Amino acid sequence: MTIEPAIALAPAERAVNLIGSDLTEKSLKLHLDGLSGVDAVGLEQRAAGLGTRSIKTTSKAWALDTIIKLIDLTTLEGADTPGKVRSLAAKAVLPDPSDASTPRVAAVCVYGDMVPYAADALGSAWSNGADNGINVAAVATAFPSGRSSLPIKIMDTKEAVANGADEIDMVIDRGAFLSGRYGIVFDQIVAVKEACRRENGTYAHLKVILETGELNTYDNVRKASWLAILAGGDFIKTSTGKVAPAATLPVTLLMLEVVRDWHLLTGEKIGVKPAGGIRTSKDAIKYLVTVAETVGEEWLQPHLFRFGASSLLNDVLLQRQKLTTGHYSGPDYVTID
């Protein structure tokens, strides 16, 4: 495959600042290829080591509440109905009806056409672009495969934003990435970012899904993370949840390392969202530990870290009930959605 050195890329601010104003597919590729490699064995060993931290008593109580505050409560099924989305939104507002001290989740994450129902159901709890309240996140850009043309992806995004989505979860073109056409992936992210612009000039937050399960190597995950950040992503997200493996601890650790390096380099803070496959409190706590010990505790806030999950919330609620009452209840003491 040859790369035309002359193919200029959209002049995304971060990339121009880092790589230079003569931004081309070639210069982007040179930058990504120059990143330090990842040793898979060492990365997995480190992740396993972080997973052995023992989080007890007060730390555990704090961790459970924090997990809830960081959840993007998600339903992404072909069979989703307005009713299902309403029920999800109700749960986002009041996760545990038996305990009013339970915090609210960060966002509900739905398909674009479900955004109005979600916003409506959240009612006064909806943030609607403000800093407090529950956000509505919409997956867009021909989620989950990303296999459609750029105009369609842009329309998909614009519609979701117009419907009130506070956050857009886009997918990258993995086919283009794997065949080395980093420029296509880059330009698409830049274009989708622009489509996130609201009429008042503000932007919906952009999460860029790398679909790490299809990228095959950790080196690719690192490259894609840099690419997504350079193109303007506010968040980098592991997976759609439709491909196995979805989020894993080593992959998330690696993405956090990129975010840490970006912060050291520019002072700018990028968010990370592992999504799919995190079902238990025990697993989620491992992620909190990994965040705190890699980028710092400061990242444990909804604008810098999220869990994309659906069944995780119920397990956290059960654990939370156990901490307050001293004994385990059962699945019938948390609501299904």
Closest CA to 229 of 197, 178, 265, 253: 265
Per CB under 8 A, 11 contacts another protein: no
DSSP letter assigned to residue 107? E
Q: Which of 153, 207, 223, 273 is catalytic?
A: 273
Of 275 and 288, nearer to another protein (C-beta) is 288
Contact (CB, 8 A) for 55 and 285:
yes
- The interface mask with another protein, positions 232-261, x = CB under 8 A, is ----------------------x--x----
Q: Which of 72, 96, 156, 169 is catalytic?
A: 169
Please give the structure tokens belonging to residue 123. 């009612």
Please pick, from the candidates 185, 209, 300, 317, the single residue that binds another protein as defined by CB under 8 A.
300
Per CB under 8 A, 65 contacts another protein: no
Q: What is d(CA 292, CA 223) in angstroms, rounded to the nearest whole number? A: 23
Of 65 and 113, nearer to another protein (C-beta) is 65
Per CB under 8 A, 60 contacts another protein: yes
237 is catalytic: yes
Please pick, from the candidates 113, 120, 159, 293, the single residue that binds another protein as defined by CB under 8 A.
293
Determine the residue type at 205. H
H or E stretch at 32: helix 25-33
Q: Which of 237, 283, 286, 337 is catalytic?
A: 237
DSSP letter assigned to residue 237? E
Q: What is d(CA 133, CA 92) in angstroms, rounded to the nearest whole number? A: 11
Which window, 34-42, 97-105, 136-144, 229-237, contacts another protein (CB under 8 A)? Answer: 34-42
Determine the residue type at 98. S
CB of 258 to another protein, least distance (A): 10
Please pick, from the candidates 14, 53, 242, 263, the single residue that binds another protein as defined by CB under 8 A.
53
Per CB under 8 A, 43 contacts another protein: yes
Which window, 62-70, 120-128, 156-164, 316-324, contacts another protein (CB under 8 A)? Answer: 62-70
169 is catalytic: yes
Of 43 and 196, nearer to another protein (C-beta) is 43
Per CB under 8 A, 55 contacts another protein: yes
Which window, 1-9, 33-41, 103-111, 313-321, contacts another protein (CB under 8 A)? Answer: 33-41
142 SS3 class: coil
HSE toward the beta carbon, residue 297, CA cutoff 13 A: 4
Q: What is d(CA 172, CA 211) in angstroms, rounded to the nearest whole number? A: 8
Per CB under 8 A, 101 contacts another protein: no
Number of residues that bind another protein (CB under 8 A): 28
**Terminal CA-CA length for the chain:** 48
Closest CA to 90 of 139, 65, 127, 126: 126
Per CB under 8 A, 298 contacts another protein: no
Q: What is d(CA 170, CA 138) in angstroms, rounded to the nearest whole number? A: 9
Closest CA to 240 of 134, 146, 108: 146
**Binding site residues, another protein, CB under 8 A:** 36-39, 41-43, 45-46, 52-60, 62-63, 66, 254, 257, 288, 292-293, 297, 300
